[in-house]
Amino acid sequence: MIGLFGDISTIRQILEYKTSIYLLKKSERIQPLGFSNILSNLLYHHRFAPFLVETVLAGLDEKNRLFIESKDILGAKSATSDFATIGSCSESLNGICGVFWKPEMNREDLFKTISSCLILGLNRNCISGWGGIVHLVSIDGVTSKLIQTRMD
């Protein structure tokens, strides 16, 4: 999730509350599609005074199928089966990722590809920041690594 820190914090608190209520009512963990619907509803509900955030949701459903989806500030979904990008350099990242991404990559190659795409995308856009965090989602869990780029 990217955007204003106050909005990110507020959305996180609301989503934690709603997912805990879901867990209490249903006695099961929420699936990615259900979480996506809750987030879309929340963002669209505040459309006249929107939260200034963009989100990428990634997870595995009950059949261990990959779920990737990005959302804009109004909660409009952009579902994909390959990759999702958000932020000020998302247009350049989409092109770069489209060139380098291949199906069925192993974890090492996938991490190298994501890191290379992130570095190339950030070098093309000076307002994108000084790096990023790569989250690899698999059946074994989530692995997060910090990527630092130029700081000039």
User: Does the pLDDT at position 140 exceed 90?
Assistant: no
pLDDT range class, residue 7, cuts 50, 70, 90: very high
Phi-psi region at 131: left, alpha or beta (left = phi > 0; alpha = psi -120 to 50): left
Model confidence at 141, pLDDT cuts 50, 70, 90, reads confident
Tens of pLDDT, residues 47-70? 999 999 999 998 888 898 889 999
In the numeric block, the tokens 């879901």 are attached to: 22
CA distance 21 to 39: 14
- What average pLDDT does the segment 78-98 reach? 83
- Residue 34 has a pLDDT of 94
Tell me: pLDDT of 125 over 70. Answer: no
Confidence at residue 1, expressed as pLDDT on a 0 to 100 scale: 84
**Which amino acid belongs to residue 69?**
E
Identify the three-state secondary structure at position 9.
helix
Predicted TM-score (pTM) of this structure: 0.81
Indicate the angle between helix axes 107-123 and 90-100, nearest 10 degrees: 140
Q: What is the mean pLDDT of the chain?
A: 88
Instruction: Provide the 8-state DSSP code for 55.
Output: E
Q: Which pLDDT score is estimated for 20?
A: 96
Segment 113-120 shows an average pLDDT of: 87
